[in-house]
Amino acid sequence: MRTHLCFQIFLISFYLILFGVSGRCQTGQQSILIQLKNKLQFDSSASTNLVSWNPNVTTDCCIWGGVKCNSRGQVVVLDLSNETISGGIDDSSDLFDLENLENLNLAGNKFNFIQIPSRFGSLAGLKYLNLSNSDFSGQIPEELSQLTSLEVLDLSSLFSYGIRSLKLEKPNLTTLVQNLTLLKGLYLDNVNISAQKSDWCQSLSSSLPNLEVLSLSNCQLSGPLDDSLAYLKSLSIIRLGLNNLSAPVPDFFADFRNLTVMHLGACHLNGKFPEKVLQLRSLQTLDLSVNTDLNGSLPHFPTNGSLRILVLSNTNFSGGIPDSIGNLKNLSRIELSKSNFSGRIPKSMENLTELSYLDLSSNSFIGQIPSFQLCKNLTHIDLSRNSLSGLIPSAHFQDLQNLVLVDLRFNAFNGSIPSSLFSLQLVQKIQLSNNNFDGELANFSNASASLLDTLDLSSNKLEGKIPRSFFELRQLSILLLSSNKLSGKIETKDFQSLTNLTTLDLSFNNLSVITNSSISGLSHLPKLFSLKLAACNLQKFPHLQNQSRLINLDLSRNKIDGEIPSWIWNVGNGSLSYMNLSHNHFTSLQKPYHFSNLSVLDLHFNNLSGEIPTPPTTATFIDYSDNRFDSDLPESIGLSLGMAYFFSVSNNLLTGVIPNTICNASYLKVLDLSNNRLTGRIPLCFTEFGGNLGVLNLGNNGLSGRIKGNFPSSCGLNTLDLHGNYLEGKIPPSLVNCTMLEVLNLGTNRINDTYPCFLGNHTNLRVLVLRSNRFHGSVRCGEGPHNKWQKLQILDIALNNFSGEVPEDCFWQWSAMMSGEQSRKEHLSFMVLQLNDFYYQDTVTVTVKGLELELVKILTLFTSIDISSNHFSGNIPSAIGRLKELYLLNVSHNDFKGSIPSSIGNLSQLESLDMSSNQLTGEIPSQLATLSFLSLLNLSNNQLKGRIPTGSQFQTFSESSYKGNKGLCGFPLNKCNSSVRPTYAPNSKESKNGIDWQFIVTGVGFGAGAAIVMGPLVLSKQGRYFWDKYTNKLVKMICLALGIHYVPCVLFNDDEDDEKETVDSNEDLDESEYESEGDPSKGRYCVFCTKLDFSRTEAIHDARCTCFNRTQVFSTSSSTSSSEAESPFSKL
């Protein structure tokens, strides 16, 4: 129970031996004991000692249970611990007539929170007093300070009882211990000593010079650890956990040569922990857990160290585990979880034969794991959430017959799952999810005798059928096999032997779950708490009427059609909390229906029509989006959203006005009513919601009027999307209060206002869309920095009436467009519920030649500027060349004059450039020819002249890119006459007469040689396919080395047969070759590729892309950007 138990047992044993040969009990002593027993309230059926006090059996009280006498027959030891005493001890108790008592133990009783009787102080001869865990309460009496012979005082409790806990106020700790100079053990755990302030260290060191055990856990002490503690040289056990010390650990603890136990967990320690303490040869237990500001590292451990338990979890310790840890031959428990350790797990740990508990989870360990074959005592192995990798030989876990738990989740292990794990008869939990284990799962013997209750193999690459032995694991409670490549048919009757099964998840495999068509098949499935069969090819609703305990049900992404049966809402007898039926083919809800006490109801992406159902009042997450509901929003709907965090009805056919009752939904974090046919005005409360609302999306409706109301100072909006309505007036100036705003989309309305300079200090703004309104005036915002939009990545103010020059300093603060330091895998999203990983995902729509392509997720790498169709004049600022991460730039249909800035050649990521319909003059800068990713260029309808530069991408553009510039010549327009100087990319070298003969001769020679080799490949269909395949592999290797995900393109062919042949061959490619190797929690994203088709001499842009999955999201918001370019992105 406690580490100091051995010390107390020794002390009690000492007294028992000392008085083992005792005199016969004095009559008076016997009488006192009998009177004491008669007044005590206890349960005789649970008593061990008191029930033996029977003078009819023996009159010698010295041999009664718990009683020892000295040679004169006087009681000196009384042990009534754990005797279920609940009353009968107060200041009048006969107990205090035992004046010769030296050892008194009343621990483990239940005194119903009475105060400790003050007469304990009258037992002057007491050397040992233990009142621990006996439910005493209130002020500790000052009379205890009179026990000057006391060597051990234990008033501790295992738990804190708040205001009913024992406390030291008057007297305080100083008064209590000032006379107890012989005290060696002080146990006051969970006693409130907060009144002592910070001088408790001085009180102890000045009064208790012989102290060996100091146990003051959770006593509400404050720091720091005073230097006066250094005088307590005899200390061997220190327990100060769960106090607010807020200080470093002093170096003098390394001088305590007798120190065996140090518990300083959850003390708000900081600074660096002294390494020499870890090297103390006497130290057996060190617990520094839950001190997140405490740093340090593991030192070299000397040989013959005594350390048995090392707990450093939830600290800021870093560095690696030294090889010298193998010197700690007695080490039985290591807990280093949730710290900052890194490096490889040393092989020397294989020799820790006493090791029974190992937890290195949530660190940054890499490489392969050592074998634990020699650690026969291991019961617990947790290496989850690291970066460990490689194969795990089955021998690593061979013969670990004591192993109960193994957790290797969230690593990068590959190869087969070690089969030895399933042969361990005591193992209860095997958790291997989120790795790269592959291959088929093998059957194993004696499965019915296994104690395995949890098996988690989800999110790997396992193939084949589910082994039949899995269905023989009679103790199995949790079976998680989702997100693999398992195949075959599973019938509900396969689970009938798993009578203890409570959680089943087979989602996202290649399985086909066959449900029994008859009601008699109901008995096949055990009584489950959680059933998840997403993407399991279900054709019809499974019979679940007998599932009386069901809490979570996920049948999403199947092929179930027809009505949602009304009986489903009664499943679980009211316990059903999570229901996900999204991505099916349901057409209606069978009536009458009555929603149960659901917390999550997800019906999105079906074919549901008619009246929108009123949500359950208990729901926190409701998603009805992407259906065909065509009713009005019920006037009372807001009364059902009192507990809701997320409510989405987007992409339906809803009509009417927005009910004012939605204003009652004060907990909403996401409200998405977009893409419907709603009319009327925006309710005033929408702008006056406080800090809870993070996303408000009313886009693509028929809302009208002004945006009224004031956004409060507590505004917590991340996304405000009102685009595609008929809103008028101005942007509310109070929007300045929404400092967390990331996405502001007011596009396609009738707003008549000036440029929103008042938002210039919104440092979180990422997307600003004002397109297609009636904004006017200059975009200049006075003196000083134009804005502080360091994170801005999409600016779309096209189709307005802005005028004047574009300021140079406009681009100076846009850091997100200048460097690639932002994450390449993150998306703009809003976390709805952190506990459940519910996200709301923003989207962007790119207009390309009249077609709208929707990006369901906005990657933080996507950057664009569209200021087209305004009245901007003057020169295009050369500072735009600072935006090296810009992907799309559209300044078309303005009144820009002057030349094209050569600095645009610095935009190395640019894929689309549209400067058409301006008054630009001069030559096309040769630097533009270096833009290797440029897939669309439109310079038409300007006044440009001279030769079109030559470069790899420039050779792919058609005449339409340059039309309306009478002075331009060169490919693909008319040839230039000899007087027009050719324009090359900046790295080209010219001869004096303008012709680079060395380049020409070299090129002709190289071309001739390449033609001989490549001709057959390029001219034949099979040759082009193999050329494409091996080019893809080469590019993929280069991209992987750079940390870039590469997705191959499918080349377009000249005829339908060629196209079919190419597509078929690409479908045969191993899809796993292009799977994401990153963290799956980072998101689902796509990568576009551009490649030159040598057979047609033009750039081919793949309309498809490979996507990488992240945590499931439930709804989207839409922002809009435009370009006359062919989009480098497609719908995800």
Amino acid in position 1069: L
pLDDT classification of 954: cutoffs 50, 70, 90:
confident
Instruction: Check if the beta carbon of residue 797 is closer than 8 Å to that of residue 772.
Output: no
- Is the confidence at residue 48, as pLDDT, over 70? yes
CA–CA distance from 1 to each of 4, 567, 806, 1072 (Å)?
A: 9, 51, 74, 52
CA–CA distance from 579 to each of 555, 623, 774, 1110 (Å)?
A: 8, 11, 45, 20
Structure tokens of 600?
A: 């999550």
- Is the confidence at residue 676, as pLDDT, over 60? yes
Max Cα separation, the chain?
135
Amino acid in position 191: V
- Is the confidence at residue 173, as pLDDT, over 90? yes
pLDDT classification of 231: cutoffs 50, 70, 90:
very high
Structure tokens of 554?
A: 């996920």
- Is the confidence at residue 827, as pLDDT, over 70? no
Lowest mean pLDDT among 478-487, 641-650, 1057-1066: 1057-1066
- Is the confidence at residue 802, as pLDDT, over 90? yes
- What angle is formed at CA 527 by the lines to CA 525 and CA 531, rounded to 5 degrees? 70
φ/ψ of 217, rounded to 5, equals -70, 140
Report pLDDT for 128: 97
Report pLDDT for 1129: 30
CB atoms within 10 A of CB 1058: 16
φ/ψ of 208, rounded to 5, equals -125, 70
Q: What is the pLDDT of residues 435-489, one digit of tens each?
A: 999 999 999 999 999 999 999 999 999 999 999 999 999 999 999 999 999 999 9
**Spatial CB neighbours of 415, under 8 Å, sequence gap ≥ 6:** 390, 391, 392, 437, 438, 439
280 or 1085: which leads in pLDDT: 280
Q: What is the pLDDT of residues 138-153, one digit of tens each?
A: 999 999 999 999 999 9
Report pLDDT for 1116: 41
768 or 492: which leads in pLDDT: 768
Report pLDDT for 785: 61
Please state the rounded mean pLDDT for residues 747-765. Answer: 92
Residue 353 region, left (φ>0) first, then alpha (ψ -120 to 50), else beta?
A: alpha
pLDDT classification of 1120: cutoffs 50, 70, 90:
very low
Report pLDDT for 838: 54
Q: What is the pLDDT of residues 585-609, one digit of tens each?
A: 999 999 988 888 899 999 999 999 9
Structure tokens of 17?
A: 């031996």
CB atoms within 10 A of CB 679: 15
Q: Is 13 helix (H, G, I), strand (E, B) or coil?
A: helix
Q: What is the DSSP string of 475-544?
A: T--EEE--SSEEEEEEEGGGGTT-TT--EEE--SSEEEEEPPSSGGGGGGS---SEEE-TTS---S----
Please state the rounded mean pLDDT for residues 14-34. Answer: 70
- Is the confidence at residue 1102, as pLDDT, over 80? no
Distance between CA atoms of residues 893 and 940, nearest Å: 10
Distance between CA atoms of residues 376 and 714, nearest Å: 58
Instruction: Check if the beta carbon of residue 377 is closer than 8 Å to that of residue 332.
Output: yes
197-199-205-207 Cα dihedral, nearest 10 degrees: -70
- Is the confidence at residue 1103, as pLDDT, over 70? no
pLDDT classification of 273: cutoffs 50, 70, 90:
very high
pLDDT classification of 685: cutoffs 50, 70, 90:
confident
Mean pLDDT of the chain: 84
- Is the confidence at residue 400, as pLDDT, over 50? yes
- Is the confidence at residue 852, as pLDDT, over 90? no
Distance between CA atoms of residues 249 and 751, nearest Å: 62
- Is the confidence at residue 639, as pLDDT, over 60? yes
Instruction: Check if the beta carbon of residue 341 is closer than 8 Å to that of residue 366.
Output: no
Lowest mean pLDDT among 124-133, 992-1001, 1062-1071: 1062-1071
Q: Is 669 helix (H, G, I), strand (E, B) or coil?
A: coil
817 or 279: which leads in pLDDT: 279
Instruction: Check if the beta carbon of residue 510 is closer than 8 Å to that of residue 490.
Output: no
Up-side HSE of residue 660: CA atoms within 13 Å toward CB? 2
- Is the confidence at residue 1115, as pLDDT, over 60? no
| Residue whose pair of structure tokens reads 């729901």 in the numeric block | 619
670 or 1054: which leads in pLDDT: 670
pLDDT classification of 131: cutoffs 50, 70, 90:
very high
pLDDT classification of 845: cutoffs 50, 70, 90:
low
Domain assignments of the chain as residue spans, ordered by start? 515-598, 1028-1117
Please state the rounded mean pLDDT for residues 898-912. Answer: 92
Amino acid in position 756: P
Report pLDDT for 848: 45
Report pLDDT for 18: 42
Please state the rounded mean pLDDT for residues 849-859. Answer: 49
Lowest mean pLDDT among 415-429, 518-532, 690-704, 959-973: 518-532
Distance between CA atoms of residues 39 and 161, nearest Å: 27
Q: Is 687 helix (H, G, I), strand (E, B) or coil?
A: helix
Distance between CA atoms of residues 375 and 356, nearest Å: 8
Distance between CA atoms of residues 303 and 392, nearest Å: 30
- Is the confidence at residue 835, as pLDDT, over 60? no
Distance between CA atoms of residues 148 and 1018, nearest Å: 102
- Is the confidence at residue 1087, as pLDDT, over 50? no
Report pLDDT for 1067: 38
Up-side HSE of residue 424: CA atoms within 13 Å toward CB? 30
Q: Please return the burial class of 782, using the count of CB atoms within 10 Å of its CB with bins 0-12, 13-18 and 19+.
A: exposed
Report pLDDT for 91: 93
Instruction: Check if the beta carbon of residue 163 is closer than 8 Å to that of residue 190.
Output: no
Distance between CA atoms of residues 950 and 985, nearest Å: 7
Residues forming a β-bridge with 252: none
Question: Which of 122-131, 906-915, 1051-1060 holds the top average pLDDT?
Answer: 122-131
Distance between CA atoms of residues 31 and 1075, nearest Å: 84
Please state the rounded mean pLDDT for residues 354-370. Answer: 97
